[in-house]
Amino acid sequence: MTFVATLISSPARPSIEDDVLAEARRILGTRHPTRMLHGEVAAEMLVDCDAERARALEAELRARFSGLPIDVAVLPSEGRRKRLFLADMDSTMIEQECIDELADYVGLKAEVSQITERAMRGELPFEPALRERVALLRDLPLGVVDEIIARRITLMPGGRTLVATMRANGAYACLVSGGFTVFTGPVAAKIGFDEHRSNRLAVAGETLAGRVEEPILGREAKRATLVELRERLGLSPQDTLAVGDGANDLAMLEAAGLGVAFRAKPAVAEAAHVRIQHGDLTALLYLQGYAASEFVGAA
């Protein structure tokens, strides 16, 4: 079999220098030429081996470059470009956790953030943790949502380019979040997703009622969304790509042809097919074999 070893660094700290490439080639034992995907930001090289050897090589590369801001993946060379993309929102496509920002308006950000962190690490079941946090937001004015979107929510670097490039090459993109439609709607529109799915906050007049409408979109619902869209579009599991950072993303990442843990909690990073800690979201394009010259839109 032929695999592709991809090295990706942060665009802010390009680190794929000649000595790194030489060491990577030595470890891989490859005679195939190196393909530069973007200056000193990303590069790839083919290696002929079986799946077990590919896993061992990835671990060796990761250990060797552990002191550098470099992400490593060794993946099959076939079927690299995906046709269905599912993404988590909070701390993945945006830099914040929306529920924590809402809690800040009632002086409970520290308390709510702690629950959020534990839920994302898998230490608490997602659904009851969400209900508990939302209950603390009762009577919060709905107008706060628009203010948070305008003043506090920032897009994760590379997200617009990732979605625009995949869609320009025929992929379908869905934002699927355990968060709330009042946020996923505007965020999906800003980034350019085809659709979005998330939870609905119950309201009482012009304030939050402190409840989430059932059923709650959590871990299994994210996986079910991937399977539903895959079947609707007539795609194979290999055609799918998913990205997320928390425990409620694990089932979706495992069901995808390529599941990427993006700046994720340790348990999620350990379980995913690929972990990206240093690159921005354009790393997911490099994993699919896109060079920067093929990117669509601004990062």
Which entry of 71, 90, 100, 249 is annotated as an active-site residue? 90
Which entry of 88, 100, 245, 280 is annotated as an active-site residue? 88
48 included as an active-site residue? no
Rounded to whole angstroms, the Cα distance separating 224 from 197 reads: 12
239 included as an active-site residue? no
By annotation, the residues acting in catalysis are: 88, 90
